[in-house]
Amino acid sequence: MKIVVLDSFPLNPGDNPWTAVAALGDLVVHERTPAEKILARAAGADVLLTNKVPLTAAMLEQLPVLKLICVLATGFNVVDVAAARRRGIPVCNVPVYGTDSVAQFVFALLLELCHHVALHSQRVHEGEWGRREWSFWDTPMIELSGRTMGVVGFGRIGRRVGELAHAFGMKVLAHDINRGAAPSYDAFAWAGIEEIFAQADVVSLHCPLTAENRGLVNWALLSRMRRDAFLINTSRGLLVNETDLAEALRQGTLAGAALDVVSEEPISAANPLLKAPNCLLTPHIAWATLAARRRLTQTTAENIAAFLRGQPIHVVN
C-alpha cells in the first residue's frame, strides 16, 4: 500500500518522525507540494495525507486508486468531502491533539498583553534599568484575578481555556450553540455573544469557521467592548473582520488584541492588522508544540490502521 504525505513540513520539521505511519505501508514524504505538482505526486497513492494542500473534486476524479484521505489537522475544509463520499473514499481527521497546547498559548498571549514581558526585557538589555529606578514599567501591569474571561465557542479548547481562567481567579462567561453541561467550577455563566463582548475583560475565540459566523467579530461587536478589554483569536482568522478590528484598535475601542490566525496565511503585506496599534500577531503556532504534533502523527497512524482493519475511525464524511 502506497502512502503519500503531500505537505509534511509543518508537522515534522525534523523532530517528529513518521515511524508509526511508515510501518503501515510504502511511505513517500514531500515537505511541500505546490499546486502544479499535486496530481503527479498523488498518482498511484492508496492513502493521501494532507495538511493544507487542497484536494478538489476534479483532482479526486483523476486518482482512481485512492482509498483513504487523512487530514493532518482537525479542520478538513481543504478536502472536498462530498466528492470523496461520492467516490466512496473516507476522509479522516484528528479531532483531538492540541487542546492543552492551544489553551496554554491563549494565556501566553494574554499574559504578554498584561505585562509586555518581551518589551521590558528589551528595555533591560538596552540599559534602561541602569538609567532608571529600581523598578519601572512602561505599560500598565494588569492582574487577571477578579476579571472576566469571555469564551466564544465552548468545545474542548474553549472549556480548557475556561478552566485556566478560573485557576487565575477569573469569572467565565461562555457562548456555544451546543451548550452541553456547565463546568463544575464557580463563577461561570452562559451568555449571548453580545453580552460577552460588552462585559468581558478578555474575549477569546474558539469556534469553528462556518458560513454563519464568517466575519462574526465586526464593528458592531467590537464597539460594545470595554476600552480596557482584550480580544484573542487562536481559532480561525476569518472569524474576524480585520479592517474593523484595526480601526477599533486605532480608535482605542478596546485596549489590545492578540491573534495567532489571520484571514490569509501566510499573512499578506496588506493586512491592516500589521499597522494596528496594540496588536500582537504570531504565525499560527498555538498548535505546534512537539507534544501536540506527536499526538497528531500517532492519531493519523491509528486512522490508517483502523481503515486497514475495515473499521475506519474519525471519518468526517
Is residue 313 one of the residues assigned to a domain?
Answer: no
Domain that holds residue 177: 99-281
15 and 161 share one domain:
no
- Say whether both 172 and 261 belong to one domain: yes
Report d(CA 13, CA 4) in Å as an integer.
17
| 236 catalytic residue (yes or no) | yes
Residue-level pLDDT at 21: 98
pLDDT, position 207 = 94
Residue 315 lies inside a defined structural domain of this protein: no
User: CA quadruple 70, 74, 75, 81: dihedral positive or negative?
Assistant: positive
The confidence score (pLDDT) of residue 60 equals 98
239 domain-assigned: yes
Question: Within this chain, do residues 124 and 269 fall inside the same structural domain, yes or no?
Answer: yes
* 51 domain residue, yes or no: yes
Domain count, the chain: 2
Same domain, 169 and 271: yes
What integer pLDDT is reported at residue 159 of this predicted model?
98
* Rounded CA separation 199/285 (Å): 29
Handedness of CA 92, 95, 101, 106 (dihedral sign): positive
The CATH number given to whatever domain includes residue 232 is 3.40.50.720
Shared domain for 138 and 268, answered yes or no, is yes
Does residue 52 lie in a domain region? Answer: yes
Residues 135 and 272 in one domain: yes
**Where does residue 300 rank: exposed (0-12), middle (13-18), buried (19+ CB within 10 A)?**
buried
Q: Are residues 120 and 92 part of one domain?
A: no
Residues of the chain with pLDDT under 70: none
125 labelled catalytic: no
User: Is residue 75 one of the residues assigned to a domain?
Assistant: yes
Do the domain assignments include residue 130? yes
Catalytic residue among 126, 128, 194, 265: 265
Res 49: pLDDT: 98
Q: How far is CA 314 from CA 5, 46, 52, 69, 166, in A?
A: 18, 18, 18, 11, 31
Q: Are residues 210 and 145 in the same domain?
A: yes
Same domain, yes or no: 171 and 199: yes
Three-state SS at 65:
coil
Q: What is the pLDDT of residues 180-205, one digit of tens each?
A: 999 999 999 999 999 999 999 999 99
Q: How many Cβ atoms sit within 10 Å of the Cβ of residue 66?
A: 22
| Residue 316 located in a structural domain | no
Residue 265 is a catalytic residue: yes
pLDDT score, position 273: 98
Active-site hit among 236, 293, 295, 314: 236
Q: Same domain for 109 and 136?
A: yes
Q: Among residues 87, 284, 294, 302, which one is catalytic?
A: 284
Q: What CA–CA distance (Å, rounded) separates 91 from 107?
A: 33
The predicted-structure confidence for 38-73, as pLDDT tens digits, reads as follows: 999 999 999 999 999 999 999 999 999 999 999 999
For residues 228 and 164, state if they share a domain.
yes
> What nine digits make up the cell of 64?
482512481
For residue 262, the model assigns a pLDDT of: 98
Taking the C-alpha atoms of residue 22 and residue 214, their distance in angstroms, rounded to an integer, is: 38
Same domain, 136 and 79: no
H/E segment holding residue 5: strand 2-5
